Amino acid sequence: MVTPRLELQGITKRFGHVAALRDVHLAAYAGQILAVVGDNGAGKSSLIRTISGVYRPDEGTVRVDGVEQVFTNPAAARSAGIATVFQDLALIEVLDVATNMFIGQYPRRGPFVRRRTMERETRAFLDELGVSVASVRTEIGMLSGGQRQIVAIARAMRTGGRIVLLDEPTAALGVRETAQAADMIRTLRERGNAVIIVSHDMSLVFDLADRIQVMRLGRVAGVRERAQTTRDEIIGLITGALAGDEGSAPADTAA
Ligand SMILES: Nc1ncnc2c1ncn2[C@@H]1O[C@H](COP(=O)(O)OP(=O)(O)O)[C@@H](O)[C@H]1O
Ligand SMILES: [Mg+2]
């Protein structure tokens, strides 16, 4: 059996009386895309934030390549190879594209940030991806929502995490930008990353995913191979019209 690049077991995360996640298992493999789907409030973003070190789980374990990890903050998750594109982006609006691409990892010579190197590498990297921004000196705040999202995905690709998490990466994108983001996500898979994408877009999910994990009320309602399921089945698991595999008692009433 192949060891998952990323594996969660029994993850529970509570906020007061609300259990955002309850006994959640997840396995993501190198060179595969796992889509995580579910209704609003199902726990998808909490799951991403737990994996990326923003939240500490109350129970359960996180393993990377079979080794248990405890992430006390996002930097710890990043150094374990986890790159995240958050739903709310977390790009810094007053900084330019090149600086955002290198946040926390500026190329330096002594105390000086190597600005030209940063700009040159950003330009080369975006060109290689076919991403069009007029100038790498443009402040992020000046870009359209779609362009920002593409830059955020590009940054996750550049930082070269071996695990890439994307929370609703196409929610703000038009048709063409969505296609571009989909290509970038396929590239991440081809480079051998374990990719986890949260999305409401069923066309995108069925287009990209190797496996689909359905969350409902903080629990895992089911995991399916893309090739062995249908939209109807996935939507049934999302809404609860189909009974989940592990039972799906409402998060606030279960023991
Ligand atoms: N920081 C938080 N504080 C309190 N409750 C939260 C917090 N984050 C998430 N929740 C709650 O956890 C549940 C799951 O939310 P979330 O993970 O954002 O779901 P999704 O991304 O699937 O829409 C919701 O009931 C939400 O209100
Ligand atoms: Mg969310």
Q: What is the pLDDT of residue 220?
A: 97
| CA atoms of 17 and 252, how far apart (whole Å) | 7
Give the Å distance between the CA of 43 and the centre of ligand 2.
Answer: 7
List phi, psi (to 5°) of 114. -85, 85
Residue 62 has pLDDT above 70, yes or no: yes
Strand, helix or coil at 7? Answer: strand
> pLDDT band at residue 77, thresholds of 50, 70 and 90?
very high
Mean pLDDT of 24-34: 97
Mean pLDDT along residues 32-43 = 97
Ligand closest to 21 (CA) is: 1
- Residues 210, 6, 150: CA angle, nearest 5 degrees: 65
Average pLDDT on 67-93 reads: 84
Q: Mean pLDDT: which of 129-138, 151-160, 228-237 is highest?
A: 228-237
Q: Pick the atom of ligand 1 nearest to 251's CA.
A: 25
Residue 39 Cα: closest atom of ligand 1: 22
172 confidence band (pLDDT: 50, 70, 90): confident
pLDDT band of 89, cuts 50, 70, 90: low
- The answer to whether the beta carbons of residues 211 and 35 sit under 8 Å apart is yes
Question: 6 CA to middle of ligand 1, Å?
Answer: 22
Give the number of whichever ligand sits closest to the CA of residue 55: 1
Neighbour-count burial of 234, counting CB atoms closer than 10 A to its CB (0-12 exposed, 13-18 middle, 19+ buried): buried
Q: What is the pLDDT of residue 224?
A: 97
Give the fold, CATH level 3, of 6-92+162-239: Rossmann fold (3.40.50)
* DSSP structure class, residue 142: G
Contact indicator for 38, 97 with CB cutoff of 8 Å:
no
Pocket of ligand 1 (CB under 6 A): 15, 18, 20, 38, 40-46
**Atom of ligand 1 lying closest to residue 13 CA:** 12
Q: Which residues contact 83 (CB under 8 A, 6 or more apart)?
A: 155, 156, 157, 159, 160, 161, 163, 164, 165
Instruction: Find the 79 Cα to ligand 1 centroid distance in Å.
Output: 26
The CB density around residue 60, as the number of other CB atoms within 10 Å, is 17
| CA pair distance 89, 119, nearest whole angstrom | 21
| pLDDT class of 254 with cuts at 50, 70, 90 | very low
Identify the residue whose tokens are 């955020």: 152
- What whole-number percentage of the chain has pLDDT above 90? 53
Q: How far is the CA of 134 from the centre of ligand 1 (A)?
A: 37
